[in-house]
Chain A
Amino acid sequence: MREFLSGLDWSPLYISLKTGLAATVISFFLGIIAARKVMNCSGRVKAVLDGILTLPMVLPPTVSGFILLLIFSKRRTVGIFLKEQFGIVAVQTWLGCVIAAGVIAFPLMYRSARAAFEQIDPNLVFAGRTLGMPEREIFRRVVLPAAAPGLASGTVLTFARAMGEYGATSMLAGNIPGKTGTVSQRIAMVIQNGDYVTAGFWTAVVLVIAFLIVVLINLIAGKNTRQTRRW
């Protein structure tokens, strides 16, 4: 066992955690901004915008991955532009991992944030306005605290999804050990090589992390509803 652990390449864990963290931070802010914008749209515009923003969640990750690959390809307009103007390369890089994981996990943050904002009593915001509080202060001191449980569970969910992303990541970022090789990609790879012990080890790691995350969400959600109704 000790021999196995000492010989193990731990990089997939670091890469996964790092990717998950970066993608979550980006999704957190973009998700909140998008949720606010979409909430203020009306009728049809709202339905269409919401559809576009939710799409990555319902599409097969390989489809999202392929679309991302087309966009960021070094031989196409956007990819060339990004590389020449900003030196940004997404294909086969860690940045690609973050983009793929971010795009796939973003809808979870966006939808959680919207749900959290929509359940806030609008009168609280109106009260803030009639009391003369600036909009920014209302958002910071009234809206965010009231939406906190929903935002927190959305963030944890986003992190979990981003960390475990496989399909889109493997298409955009590839599986370069030590660079873009995440845990889920490592598992797929070692299984192909018949190395069930390593696959089992990483599976156990993922299981433990996933379980902790779900428990964490339940604890966050449970804090606000002290008495859960049973039936």
Chain B
Amino acid sequence: MRLNAEIKKVLKDFTLDIRIDTSASRIGILGPSGSGKSMTLRCIAGIETPDCGRISLDEKVLYDSGSRVFLKPQQRNVGYMFQNYALFPTMTVLQNLECGARGSRTEKRERALEMLSRMKLDGLEKRFPSELSGGQQQRTALGRILAGKPELILLDEPYSALDPNLVDRLQREMEEILKDYHGQVIMVSHNRDDLYRFSEEIFIVREGSVLCHDRTKNLFDDPRSLEAAKITGCKNFSRIRRIDAHRLEASDWGIKLEVDRPVPESVRFVGYRAHYLKPVWGGRKRNCMKFCCAFVDDMLFEKKYYCIPETGCTDQDKLVSWFVQAVTQEMLEKRGMPDYLEFEQERILLLE
């Protein structure tokens, strides 16, 4: 399967200009709220019409402004899971499932009954959506989509409206159900964790355009641009001055850094994830920064230290975030605050 989408659409705050060309089977679109992710899905499903562009699935053209092709959503065979599931409130679970199936009345009934047991909804066929738990609603919505054997499934922020206690379980259920589905699935989310575990390939979207895309692992290891690094959750950034191929000066942190890779001329910033900072006691080592803690956020299983860097600059947005989890926290309690924080060279992000 290969999805190829080129979508242009003028929106109120920005112009959507998205290019997606991928044959990955689990695709993530990551971006802040209001960046045009959902609109992209809606255009692919045919709920919204782009101003121009072209959308195709393998050989099948869904939309092409050039040759004036616009398939109705009914003709696209693209499943769309809405954030609120959009189950039909006046129909029972079985009737909802039937709505997704195609064919004659008996074929629909058969397919719906098949989905009912595959989604582990047995015994709930006469319930209305309002009488279901969150997990049952999600399974009904997925079952209703899968009943029509779609070629592509679109998941629009599937977990963001859920009770945090439910999310883990529903994620596992969703993965379990989609394991047998061999078409492409696109998940849109502003939550990097959701997409990290779900997607093979991620597109980062910001203000209506694709900032970058890559295999998930590569993208998180090397986001390449400052904006993309921010969206992947990197907290610490510094402007740099390049000294030579392996050394640079991080001016916002007031230290010199050595990097294991050659530093390209185009690099303007370095980034460093807050969880990766390493406490160092005693003598100064390579890539160490002297710091002074400005304030601490005490979370349940984590402490967030906000540190004044070696420049001594106390600006709020120049503070270095250092997130410490339980094991390291115990060490801190035993040995006291470290003298330095180390930036491990292989974890330094080189950004343009």
Contacts and interface: CB of A to CB of B under 8 A. Distances in A.
A40 to B, nearest CB: 14
B155 to A, nearest CB: 12
Contact of B73 (A124, A130, A146): A130
Given A131-B145, A132-B102, A133-B74, A126 B88 contact: no
B80 A132 contact: no
Given A126-B73, A126-B80, A145-B90, A133 B47 contact: no
Contacts of B45: 126, 130
Contacts of A132: 74, 77, 100, 102, 148
A30 interface: no
A84 interface: no
Given A132-B148, A141-B91, A146-B90, A127 B77 contact: no
B9 interface: no
A131 B76 CA distance: 9
Contact of B72 (A121, A123, A129, A145): A129
B99 interface: yes
A123 B82 contact: yes
B46 A130 contact: yes
B46 A142 contact: no
A129 B73 contact: yes
A87 interface: no
Q: Choose among A124, A130, A141, A148 the residue with the greatest number of B CB atoms under 10 Å from its CB.
A: A130
A146 B102 contact: no
B79 interface: yes
Contacts of B74: 129-130, 132-134
Contacts of A133: 74, 99
Contacts of B91: 141
Nearest to A120: B89
Interface in A114-128: 121, 123-124, 126-128
A132 B71 CA distance: 12
Contacts of A128: 88, 99
Given A123-B84, A126-B47, A126-B73, A131 B89 contact: no
A123 B89 CA distance: 12
Nearest to A135: B74
Q: Choose among A127, A134, A145, A148 the residue with the greatest number of B CB atoms under 10 Å from its CB.
A: A127
Nearest to B100: A131
Nearest to A123: B86
Given A132-B148, A134-B74, A127 B86 contact: yes
A127 B46 CA distance: 11
Contact of A146 (B78, B89, B100, B145): B89
Interface string B96-134: 000110100000000000000000000000000000000
Nearest to B84: A123
Contacts of B77: 132
Contacts of A131: 79, 99-100, 144-145, 148
A164 B88 CA distance: 38
A128 B99 CA distance: 8
A133 B148 CA distance: 11
A130 B78 contact: yes
A124 B47 contact: no
B108 to A, nearest CB: 11
Given A123-B82, A126-B47, A128-B99, A141 B72 contact: no
Interface in B30-80: 42, 45-47, 72-74, 76-80
Contact of B80 (A121, A124, A130, A148): A130
A127 B140 CA distance: 13
A52 B223 CA distance: 57
A211 to B, nearest CB: 30
Interface of A: 121, 123-124, 126-134, 141-142, 145-146, 148
25 contacts: A121-B86, A123-B82, A123-B86, A124-B88, A124-B89, A126-B47, A127-B82, A127-B86, A127-B87, A127-B88, A129-B46, A129-B47, A129-B74, A130-B74, A130-B78, A130-B80, A131-B79, A131-B148, A132-B100, A132-B102, A132-B148, A134-B74, A141-B88, A142-B88, A142-B90
Given A121-B84, A127-B87, A131-B145, 5 more contacts: A123-B86, A124-B86, A127-B86, A132-B77, A141-B99
Interface of B: 42, 45-47, 72-74, 76-80, 82, 84, 86-91, 99-100, 102, 144-145, 148
7 cross-chain pairs, A with B, having the tightest CB-CB distances, nearest first = A145-B90, A127-B86, A129-B73, A123-B86, A130-B80, A126-B47, A123-B82
